[in-house]
Chain A
Amino acid sequence: MLSRTASALYWLGRYLERADFLARLVEATIRLDALSARPAGEAAWQSALTVSYTDEAFALTGHNTTQAHVAKFLTLDASHPGSIIRCLDMARMNARAVRTALTREAWTAINRAWLIFQSRTSPGGATQTLNMVEAVKAEMRGFEGSIHRMMRNEATLLIQLGAAVERADNTARLLDVKYHILLPAGEEVGGAVDRDQWTTILQTVSAVNAYRWLYSDGLKTVNVIDLLISRPELPRSLAACVEEGVDLLSQLAKRTGLQGEADRMARARMQRMQKTRTAEVIVSGLHEYLEAFIAENELLDRAIARQFRFI
């Protein structure tokens, strides 16, 4: 496989995962803002911006932190790289560059997701925005399905590796932001707003039901953190993403004979995570833990690029 192709496939996986995450984030934020007993309002939209690392860019627009402005900013605004449309642009550009490595179905799903945005200038109201992000998510599910019907070769593995690395990053950010920034002054930990916010997080990672199955208690912060960090059953947990990365790297090694620094880093990280106890993480500082995780994820990303000679 061409080095350029390998790089484009990996980034294709990352950008699509990011687009999917942003769609989920917008969806969850609308629910938090509109559906909960005590709407979180601006704070909810502010946290959506922080999670996606676009708060500074948004501040420059001078708009209020309202649904209309933030939802448009996160979905349709092509002026900053943190919008769904830009992620899909980048994913599609990479997909075009490596079209020969994708099946028709895989390419079509990406192209269709991209087309959803081509005719729109506004996300519309809450219902229309929900419909729009649901349509994106549906195409992304179609894409995921299609790559399971592709030849099981390096191309598929690299796309999945990109997605796993990106997903780990997204979950860590989501958790970090919620834990330290979200709760407005005057609100109590464990209060209604706090509860709504944790529910929103679970919704963003499609884990509301998973939580109920795994924890018989009501909604507890420590359990949500445990679920998102160390439960391998949940596909978006840090533990699951890390395990998936290890597995994909060793499958790639089998097919390509390329094994090295990235494999070693990923395995060491998995072993550390298996010994991690959530209670200890909280005591010694969740924020520090997540920051270190995000930094390590970046190092892994660079090691992957070296190992597969990305150009």
Chain B
Amino acid sequence: MAANGAFDEIWGHGGPDAPRAEFAALSQWIADTPAAELHRRQQSAEATFRQLGITFAVYGDSDAAERIIPFDIVPRVFLPNEWARLSEGLVQRVQAINAFLEDIYGERRILKEGIIPEELIYLNDQFRPEVDGVRPPHGVWAHICGIDLVRTGADEFFVLEDNARTPSGVSYMLENREAMIRLCPELFRDFRVAPVDSYPDMLLQTMRSVAPGGGKAKPVCVVLTPGHFNSAYYEHSFIADTMGVELVEPVDLVVDDDVVYMQTIAGRVRVDVIYRRIDDDYLDPLAFRPDSMLGVPGLIAAYRAGNVAIINAPGNGIADDKAIYSYMPEIVRFYSGGDVKLPNVETYRCREPQALKYVLDNLGKLVVKLVDGSGGYGMLVGPTATKAQIEEFRAALVAEPHRYIAQPTLALSTVPTMVESGLAPRHVDFRPFVLTGSDGVRVVPGGLTRVALREGSLVVNSSQGGGTKDSFVLLDDGPGQSQEQGA
């Protein structure tokens, strides 16, 4: 049975005995495989993940310094037509994000035409004057985007968040698929699942395509990690390894005369493209935070001089900021000339008096977020909040309305998931990955499905007990394992 009447991606609204017509076979597979067998396979996958050290660190939790993310054996499946529509929407959105960044750090047409209020940019911490007027090599800003989606019905997909800085999770997409192929090979016999293992090749191709011009045939690409204590270190090493490029730490890089080198046993080697997994703030103490022990001094100067490509470009935070998010439909329309194919979750900007009035009248039904908050801080979840919390937010909203947005609570879709008592619907979200190079935009046919393991919970965050699932994209009979569209 679907939870709280929410739409289940396999069962629809009908439950295990009456799945959505397209998923009869999958539902049959679930029914035919004994629960104990599914449990066994799931445990085997998790044991492998532990042995491989596919872990993430939880800050401030010394007992469980390394944890694995729970893996669920029942895949989430996209039908070919669902995926085709999603991909179109993703390409459109990411192209708009790139156009927006190009404009904001360039001509600023969108401000001049009054589409977005100027103060949203100029008073925003995520707007980086340090890179203002700098055009990255080949004009690509958001090379790797992770777009967080939620679904509320058969045809209702909404973007919850755009991640245009350093989105993570791609290693889980690939490792989950490896585990599924090993543990449930029959599924791949019965269904034509689009492969995801082309991701590393696509990423390397994307990186090479944005190397500073006039360079070598094979530009030197590296992945830059803060180090092996970082919570996502496994992913950093995984990405470097699958691409066959060096995984460097800031200490390995030196900048001399605006050129970036890595220090090797054979001496210095010039670096052309850096996929950094370090936030802007810690990238270069000379440009950003001078107290950062992490960064590479002079890196931004080398970038400004056009000698190195940085993936994703510094300053991208302005595009995935919560305050900007609410303008994404306008942004897409402004740069693409068409309507947005992947809508936002309805968002009330409290800075607008009418919206503020609605929000204040309906606090008990809404989620209210601080525009510059993250990780659940500065957030009110109306339906589960106490009276006191609601009144506290009411006062804060009246005092500083421009700092808040509000959204309705959504009935997120569910997917059957193994829990103690057997299979039960659990809420999911989805993060596909979109790559943009100088040679086009590519959507990898798959992504990271996160699942809230507690009944009724909407929290899919891994540090709060969320798990992951493999995400199958079923192939149509036609060609095209990935959608490509010229930039």
Do A and B pair up? The answer is yes
* Interface residue ranges, A against B (CB under 8 Å): 1-6, 93, 96-97, 99-100, 104, 107-108, 111-112, 115, 154, 256-258, 308-309, 311
Q: Which residue of B lies closest to A104 (CB)?
A: B52
Which of the segments B18-26, B79-87, B261-269 contacts the partner chain? B261-269
**In the complex, how many angstroms separate the beta carbon of B88 from the nearest chain A beta carbon?**
36
Given A4-B251, A311-B251, residue A100 in contact with residue B246 (CB < 8 A): yes
Contacts of A112 in B (CB 8 A): 51
A298 to B264, CA, bound (A): 23
Question: Out of B50, B241, B264, which one reaches A99, CB within 8 Å?
Answer: B241
Interface contact A93-B228, CB-CB below 8 Å: yes
Interface contact A3-B51, CB-CB below 8 Å: no
A6 to B50, CA, bound (A): 26
Interface contact A111-B265, CB-CB below 8 Å: no
Q: A2-B248, A96-B233, A115-B50 are known contacts; what are 6 more A-B pairs with Cβ within 8 Å?
A: A2-B265, A3-B265, A4-B249, A4-B251, A99-B241, A309-B265
Count A-B contacts at CB 8 Å.
61
**In the complex, how many angstroms separate the beta carbon of B418 from the nearest chain A beta carbon?**
24
Q: Which residue of A lies closest to B228 (CB)?
A: A96
Q: Which residue of B lies closest to A309 (CB)?
A: B265
Question: Out of B52, B252, B267, which one reaches A107, CB within 8 Å?
Answer: B52
Question: Out of B233, B240, B265, which one reaches A258, CB within 8 Å?
Answer: B265
Contacts of A6 in B (CB 8 A): 265
Contacts of A93 in B (CB 8 A): 228
The 5 closest A-B pairs by CB, nearest first: A99-B237, A100-B241, A96-B228, A308-B265, A100-B247
Contacts of A107 in B (CB 8 A): 52-53
Interface contact B252-A4, CB-CB below 8 Å: yes
Q: Is the interface of A mostly helix, strand, loop or mixed?
A: helix
From A4, A93, A108, residue with most partner B Cβ within 10 Å: A4
A5 to B241, CA, bound (A): 14
Contacts of B53 in A (CB 8 A): 96, 107, 111
A79 to B50, CA, bound (A): 25
Q: How many residues of B contact A (CB 8 A)?
A: 22
A5 to B245, CA, bound (A): 13
Given A96-B53, A99-B247, residue A2 in contact with residue B240 (CB < 8 A): no
Given A100-B247, A308-B265, A309-B265, residue A3 in contact with residue B252 (CB < 8 A): yes
Contacts of A100 in B (CB 8 A): 237, 240-241, 246-247
Question: Out of B52, B233, B266, which one reaches A111, CB within 8 Å?
Answer: B52
Contacts of A311 in B (CB 8 A): 251-252, 263
A172 to B475, CA, bound (A): 64
Task: Enumerate 27 A-B pairs (CB-CB under 8 Å) in ascending A order.
Answer: A1-B266, A2-B248, A2-B262, A2-B263, A3-B265, A4-B249, A4-B252, A4-B263, A5-B246, A93-B228, A96-B53, A96-B228, A97-B227, A97-B228, A97-B249, A99-B237, A104-B52, A111-B52, A256-B265, A256-B266, A257-B266, A258-B265, A309-B263, A309-B265, A309-B267, A311-B251, A311-B252
Give 1 or 0 for each of B254-283: 1 = CB within 8 Å of chain A CB: 000000001111110000000000000000
Contacts of A108 in B (CB 8 A): 51-52
Interface contact B264-A3, CB-CB below 8 Å: yes
**In the complex, how many angstroms separate the beta carbon of A93 from the nearest chain B beta carbon?**
7
Contacts of B233 in A (CB 8 A): 96
A284 to B53, CA, bound (A): 52
Question: Which chain B residues in 43-82 approach chain A with CB under 8 Å?
Answer: 50-53
**In the complex, how many angstroms separate the beta carbon of B253 from the nearest chain A beta carbon?**
10
Contacts of B237 in A (CB 8 A): 96, 99-100
From B53, B227, B251, residue with most partner A Cβ within 10 Å: B53
A115 to B233, CA, bound (A): 19
Contacts of A3 in B (CB 8 A): 252, 263-265
A258 to B252, CA, bound (A): 19
A97 to B233, CA, bound (A): 9
A257 to B265, CA, bound (A): 10
Question: Which chain B residues in 122-173 approach chain A with CB under 8 Å?
Answer: none
Interface contact B265-A1, CB-CB below 8 Å: yes
Contacts of B227 in A (CB 8 A): 97
Question: Out of A5, A97, A258, which one reaches B266, CB within 8 Å?
Answer: A258
A257 to B267, CA, bound (A): 11
Contacts of B248 in A (CB 8 A): 2
